[in-house]
Structure 1
Amino acid sequence: MNPADPLLKILACPLDKGPLTLLTAEDALYNPRLHRRYPIVDGIPQLLPSSGEQVDDTEHRRLTSQ
């Protein structure tokens, strides 16, 4: 998945239904509001609530400063 992918405009967090940020270096999607990261496996976003992982404050600051 790349930043210009039109799919990014319609993908939403399964928990708060808000937009997600693409983390290209980590091949993941990130919800900065809930501090949750969702993996992209073989080009397919894994957007089940159980697929997301909680990110701690230190990691959140690192991800949002990129």
Structure 2
Amino acid sequence: MLSAVYRKLALALRGTRPPSAVARGYLLAPGVRSFADESKRAEEPRTFHPALLKFLVCPLSKKPLRYEASTNELINDELGIAYPIIDGIPNMIPQAARTTRQNKKQEEVEQH
């Protein structure tokens, strides 16, 4: 029985025929009632939900992050780096982060 459902789903994904009611149920995201709702949802820009901050930490220092709404970034003040948020999803890859501070030599020159 389950293999028949997967077969129907595979055919629907290939576009050979319109998806059946069962396949549509598997294709829709949780909480979406129809494909019309899904298309409306896709047009809305996705934003970061600040409640996720209690679960996210910096992958380098393992310290909590701060959300900066104006730049749409997660900031690690200790290391001076900012992780971008793209379509509501934080990009926590260290190579994708930008530095928020100038290098230490420039900071020292400015302080003196």
TM-score grouping bracket, smaller chain normalisation:
0.7 to 0.9
Number of matched pairs: 55
Spell out the pairing of 1:1-66 with structure 2 (5 A cutoff). 1-3=48-50, 5=51, 7-57=52-102
Q: Which has the higher contact order (CA 8 A, sep 6+)?
A: 1
Q: Which runs of 4+ in 1 moved over 4 A?
A: none
Q: How large is the RMSD of aligned CA atoms in angstroms? A: 1.2
Identity %: 40
- Could you report, residue by residue, the CA deviation over 1:8-62 in whole angstroms, capped at 9, with x for unpaired residues? 10101011010000001111000000000000000000001111111125xxxxx
Larger Rg: 2
TM-score, normalised on structure 2?
A: 0.46
Paired with 1:2 and 1:12, the residues of 2 have a C-alpha distance of 15
TM-score, normalised on structure 1?
A: 0.76
Question: Any unmatched runs of 5+ in structure 1?
Answer: 58-66
Question: Any unmatched runs of 5+ in structure 2?
Answer: 1-47, 103-112
